Chain A
Amino acid sequence: MSQKTIALYLQLHQPYRLKRYTIFDTAHDHLYFNDEGDGNTNNSKIFRRVAEKSYRPMTLLLERLLAEEPDFRLTLSMSGTFIEQAEAWSPDIIETLRRIIATGRVELLAETYHHTLAFFYSKSEFEKQVLLHREKIFKTFGVIPSVFRNTELAYNNELAAWAQRHNYKGILAEGWDPILEWRSPNYLYNAAGAESLALLLKNYRLSDDLAFRFGDKKWSGWPLTPEKYIDWIHKSNEHGSIINLFMDFETFGEHQWEDTGIFGFFAHFVPAWLRQHGSFSKISDIIESYEPIDTLSMPETVTWADSERDLSAWNGNALQQEALRHVYALEHEITQTDDKELIEDWRKLLASDHTYYMSTKWHADGNIHSYFSPYDSPYDAFLSYMNAVRDLRWRVMQHRKGL
């Protein structure tokens, strides 16, 4: 049995949720994200809650593990809107992140600043957001990422070609069976059409054991102990040596609450894995140390969401398609204004989260959608969004009139 290494990558993101925004607000109230009430669109309230439950305890746990275990390594990626919110509402978390990144054993990835799917709607806007993110990461943490991950892990060959053109060393994607066929996600691959770009694939079974199933008492694997999990890791393809555990950072404490034992599990799992001669690697370490075993082609877009693993969670229904059509149609007019606030508000509305709240899939995935949604229904999310888009248009018009 070859020695295995774990590439743990955690995603930190918070969107700016749009408040309930009616036609009576349109053309009057240009502040879309400033709900300060008790509801679920109060962004500062939500951020502070998630900080309390997840960001603070988990960053501190990571810091402790990095101090105690010199061979512990991991990768983080954070949206620009997460960093902004942390700076505003829980700056201690930025401090902790700075310290753990300064160890040199925590890698940061590149992504879009506003957590958008702009790659599929406007390449020019996408590139601007990637650049904005790069600047923010450099300014905040003093590093420049060399590996790219797109929002929601949305990936296709075209994106790989783009990443190679822009000198990224590697890129992340979902290790989805219909694409992999007989292959295993536990190897390094090359991206089709971008042969110098390394492709790392999420081991979704082992990742989702933590991200989705850990606290589920009806799950056959419950309760999951470090020993059991390590056993599963060893059994996950005997030959492949890379275990890509990709998940939301909020898995720890927010999606899986503290009372599930997720923190205790992780605190014990890391040293236990290292004692058994396992190792942890940053994404870049993997790209340096391993040879790609094959070239993998994904002409169709693959994401890490829902049972379809496509973009349908964000653009699958008519509401979402309408919303996306109208908001992206404003790109030229809005960027032409040079009005920083207007452009910024528009970009906040491009966050993939907004159309996710409009999803009407009501099977098992729908439950996840409604868990994450601050709105009463997809239709309410849609109405508020369309009115906000109309208000953007109103503001553009005022610009033209020189008001």
Chain B
Amino acid sequence: MNILMLGWELPPHNSGGLGVACYHLSKSLAQQGATIDFVVPYTADHPGIDFMSIHSVSSLSPLERNELGVYDSSRSVTSRDLPDIPGGSKNIRDVQRRYVSFVENFIQDSNVDVIHAHDWLTMEAGIRAKELTGKPLFVHVHATEFDRSGELSGNPIVHEIEQEALLLADRIFAVSNITKSIIVHRYGIPADKVEVVYNGFDPASLQDGYDYDTLTYRYLEGLREEGYLVVATITRFTVQKGLTHLIQAAAKVASQYDKVVFLFAGDGEQRDELIHLSAQLGISDKVFFTGFVRGKKWRDAYSVADVFVMSSVSEPFGLTALEAAHHNNALIISKQSGVGEILSSIFRFDFWDTDLLADQIIGLATSPALLQEMRANIHDEYARLSWQDIAKQCLSLYGKSNVRIAA
């Protein structure tokens, strides 16, 4: 099986979870015998990726590609001034056009069985490849423009690209039922055309000789010794993540029970609002802002935490919850986060239900047995979905599609 995989990034040049998912999926597919040609928009070395061929569309560096923005599509497509990039391209649309023409050339002398395109960034190239080869197109939706734009309406050009690709695709992979529901209801796609293909999790990727250093968050460790519970969230501070609701819940917790603190690891345009809100609610001393964390500080943020909260208003999947489970956190996940669909040993809440969230946090803070139980149980199940299983599911879906098209 020859797969033309149309992607936007791969580790270590990824700006988010899209690259991680593409990497693991491709690797597992390759291990199960598939031959993969993976297209990226930039040029760079990918150490450790020898299981597939990587093709570069342009001489852009990964950094320049990052500058174009992946998540913040509304800004990058329309108004943002972008630095001149080699070859005279000015913005993400130019890069996408070049991506399309690269793919047009590429398929002329390659043998492709299926086309697998990830998110709006590569959907046009996927459509073109399908037109030229007649091979089935699988559109893999990791996030829609509705997710990226939060409560805003999003970029109409992006919506249009998504709409067209979802209509023309032979089959659509959605990373959760939440995402499938958006595709069905907001893009009007028949439900039977959309298959839920969850992300897997590879604990081995986090087993890199990491040791928790209790000195990194020494002050918080000091509080833990005094019996405090540390509740963490590790994310981008954007509206989509529902963090104002988490702060509201934190205030409700503080009014009932003193020994809980909240670690907000990350950064984003909502930071000042969150700082101000916690001051207004009189809980500044309970809320710790780290700024953007990477490397050890990032891993240690999970390790110092007892409980991880994902309060997203709209989260297609939510890989960080599985990372938190890996680090022995108990999980509280909004019902609007896809990852919750594959986990049982968690607390769930509607993102707006701050009473319930506060109640769940206090429950964990006041019952060591409950906390212990939830930690142990989630640790047993978080890695249940292996990428090998996901790859099998994809291969089987590719196959069905081929039969149908051949018939």
Residues of B within 8 A of A321 (CB): 279
Residues of B within 8 A of A67 (CB): none
**A322 with B285, Cβ < 8 A, contacts A22-B290, A377-B272 known:** yes
Interface of A is mostly: helix
Residue B218 interfacial (CB < 8 Å): yes
| Interface membership of chain B positions 231-273, coded 1 if the CB is closer than 8 angstroms to chain A and 0 otherwise | 0000000000000000000000000000000000000000110
Contact of A318 among B220, B272, B280, B290 (CB under 8 A): B280
Residues of B within 8 A of A234 (CB): none
Docked CA distance A379–B280 (Å):
13
B271:A23 contact, CB within 8 angstroms? no
Docked CA distance A211–B219 (Å):
44
A23:B288 contact, CB within 8 angstroms? yes
Residues of B within 8 A of A26 (CB): 218-219
| Interface membership of chain B positions 375-398, coded 1 if the CB is closer than 8 angstroms to chain A and 0 otherwise | 000000000000000000000000
Pick the most buried of B215, B219, B272: most chain A CB atoms within 10 A of its CB.
Answer: B219
Residues of B within 8 A of A218 (CB): none
A27:B218 contact, CB within 8 angstroms? yes
Among residues 207 to 227 in chain B, which have CB atoms less than 8 Å away from a CB atom of chain A?
Answer: 215-220, 222
Interface range, A side: 20 to 34
Residues of A within 8 A of B288 (CB): 23
Nearest residue, chain B, Cβ from A329? B285
Contact of B275 among A23, A27, A383 (CB under 8 A): A383
Residue B298 interfacial (CB < 8 Å): no
Residues of A within 8 A of B291 (CB): 22
Residue B58 interfacial (CB < 8 Å): no
In the complex, how many angstroms separate the beta carbon of A398 from the nearest chain B beta carbon? 9
B276:A319 contact, CB within 8 angstroms? yes
| Interface membership of chain A positions 14-38, coded 1 if the CB is closer than 8 angstroms to chain B and 0 otherwise | 0000000011101110000000000
In the complex, how many angstroms separate the beta carbon of B173 from the nearest chain A beta carbon? 40
Residue A350 interfacial (CB < 8 Å): no
Residues of B within 8 A of A318 (CB): 276, 279-280, 282
Residue B284 interfacial (CB < 8 Å): yes
Docked CA distance A390–B272 (Å):
20
Among residues 296 to 323 in chain A, which have CB atoms less than 8 Å away from a CB atom of chain B?
Answer: 317-319, 321-323
Docked CA distance A22–B267 (Å):
14
Nearest residue, chain A, Cβ from B226? A397
Residue B55 interfacial (CB < 8 Å): no
Residue A239 interfacial (CB < 8 Å): no
Residue B159 interfacial (CB < 8 Å): no
Residue A356 interfacial (CB < 8 Å): no
Residue A386 interfacial (CB < 8 Å): yes
Residues of A within 8 A of B280 (CB): 318
In the complex, how many angstroms separate the beta carbon of B330 from the nearest chain A beta carbon? 22
Contact of A397 among B222, B279, B289, B290 (CB under 8 A): B222
Residue B98 interfacial (CB < 8 Å): no
In the complex, how many angstroms separate the beta carbon of A389 from the nearest chain B beta carbon? 8
A394:B276 contact, CB within 8 angstroms? no
In the complex, how many angstroms separate the beta carbon of A328 from the nearest chain B beta carbon? 13
Residues of B within 8 A of A394 (CB): 219, 222
| Interface membership of chain A positions 317-336, coded 1 if the CB is closer than 8 angstroms to chain B and 0 otherwise | 11101110010000000000
Docked CA distance A317–B219 (Å):
27
Nearest residue, chain B, Cβ from A397? B222
Docked CA distance A386–B282 (Å):
13
Nearest residue, chain B, Cβ from A28? B218
In the complex, how many angstroms separate the beta carbon of A401 from the nearest chain B beta carbon? 10
Pick the most buried of A22, A23, A26, A326: most chain B CB atoms within 10 A of its CB.
Answer: A23
- List residues of chain A with CB under 8 Å of any chain B CB: 22-24, 26-28, 317-319, 321-323, 326, 360, 377, 379, 382-383, 386, 389-391, 394, 397
- List residues of chain B with CB under 8 Å of any chain A CB: 215-220, 222, 271-272, 275-276, 279-280, 282, 284-285, 288-291, 297
Question: What 4 new A-B contacts, CB under 8 Å, besides A22-B291, A317-B279, A389-B285?
Answer: A24-B216, A24-B297, A322-B284, A386-B285
The 4 closest A-B pairs by CB, nearest first: A318-B279, A27-B218, A27-B219, A322-B284
